Amino acid sequence: MTLWKCRLVVVDSKGTVARFAASSGWTRSLGVCHLDWLELSPGRHVCQFETDRAPVTQMQRISRRWPSLTFLLDYEDETHRIKGLAKAKSGEVEHCGIGY
């Protein structure tokens, strides 16, 4: 089984970011396991987690549900040697992935 190691930064107004962090829908959607919150400031939340699903497509779906939030995702699949960065907002994704 491939595990994707992810670091997610979520940015916006205080209330929206806090509501996102408190919801469980996004963790189910991404198949999150081993979630660690690294920063919980008013307009910015940062966490790291592992998932067995490719994270970019799921982040696109989540960003559609939370259109005011900006999602910055750093991910890595060590098994297949893939590293990537993605920015998602309102269902639009800018993405760059490389193999190493």
Return the percentage of the chain with pLDDT > 70, whole number.
Answer: 100
Superfamily of chain region 4-99: Api92-like domains (3.30.70.1270)
pLDDT tens-digit readout, 8-43: 999 998 789 999 999 999 999 999 999 999 999 989
The two three-digit tokens of residue 45, written as one number: 């939340």
Nearest Cα residue to 64 out of 89, 32, 30, 27: 89
Helix spans in the chain (H)? 14-22, 25-30, 55-65
pTM: predicted TM-score of the whole model, two decimal places: 0.92
Name the residue type at position 14: K
User: What's residue 41's pLDDT?
Assistant: 92
User: What's residue 56's pLDDT?
Assistant: 95
Contact status, residue 57 vs residue 4, Cβ threshold 8 Å = no
pLDDT tens-digit readout, 70-87: 999 999 999 999 999 999
